[in-house]
Amino acid sequence: MRFQWVCWCLLGLGVSLCLPATGHSNPLASKEVGYPASLKNQLEALHQTHSSSSENLNLLIQLASTYLDAGDDLYSETPRRLEAYQTGVDFAKQALALDQQHAHAHFLYAANLGHIAQFRGVLVSAFLIPEIIGHVEQSLELAPTHAPALHMMGMILDGLPWFLGGDAEGSIVYLERAVAADPHYTHARVNLGKLYLKQGRVQVAKEQLLWVTNTQSPRGVYAWSHHHKPEALSLLKELGPERK
């Protein structure tokens, strides 16, 4: 694995890696009336089906995806969120047991595990990071245009110090690929804008942020309206009006 040695370096240095929030793994979910409360009914219906069809690959993927969304948007208490992400990991693992070549299953495993790592602190995260990265890499090997996996890899490369494999230029390339693969992926656009700002590329950063604020067709309506658009507006306000 490309970053197999990272965990020992992180343990020794006490480095904390912030993995990205993934947004909605199911872009249609946040368009439902009553989202995110509607996730409770979705999970109940999925579990009822799962009880009679436990080896249905698509069903396992839906469960892993919906638990990821529940951890992100439905629950606010840390124990409930951790439980949701762990359940998402478990269902993604079951999906991979049926099909190791399923790119989205690898991503869902990495995304749910990544959230657990964020909550568990440096010690646990240090051991989980190589596994997380490995599954993101496998997802991209199987599906090079998988936008959430591209986004996640880009943010990992941005979060790691250069001497542990971090790559500022590489992170931008991954985020640009994520936006190219899914132009409506507003979370990736916000993060890309922020990375451009780190490099002093204000104009291209503004273009990304303005796209987020003006779009009428975001990848996930709830995440866009509650997180991505407000963040983009805040960043644009900090940048101030354009000079004429």
Query: For 107-151, what is each residue's pLDDT tens digit?
Result: 999 999 999 988 887 656 678 888 999 999 999 999 999 999 999
Mean pLDDT of 71-77: 96
**Per-residue pLDDT tens digits for 19-65:** 555 444 544 444 456 999 999 999 999 999 998 888 999 999 999 99
Q: Which of 117, 121, 93, 123 is nearest to 7 (CA)?
A: 123
Q: Above 70 in pLDDT, residue 198?
A: yes
| Cα end-to-end distance, the chain, whole Å | 50
The DSSP call for residue 71 is I
Count of Cβ atoms closer than 10 Å to residue 191 Cβ:
25
Q: Above 70 in pLDDT, residue 8?
A: no
Residue ranges of domains in the chain, CATH in brackets: 6-239 (1.25.40.10)
Question: Which pTM value belongs to this model?
Answer: 0.87
Contact of 181 with 146, CB cutoff 8 Å? yes
Mean pLDDT of 97-105: 98
**Per-residue pLDDT tens digits for 219-239:** 889 999 999 999 999 999 999
Please state, for a pLDDT cut of 70, what percent of the chain lies above it: 83
> Can you give the pLDDT at residue 15?
44
Chain center to CA of 30: 15
Query: Could you give the CA distance from residue 218 to residue 213 in angstroms, rounded to a whole number?
Result: 10
136, 138, 143, 144 alpha-carbon torsion, rounded to 10° = 70
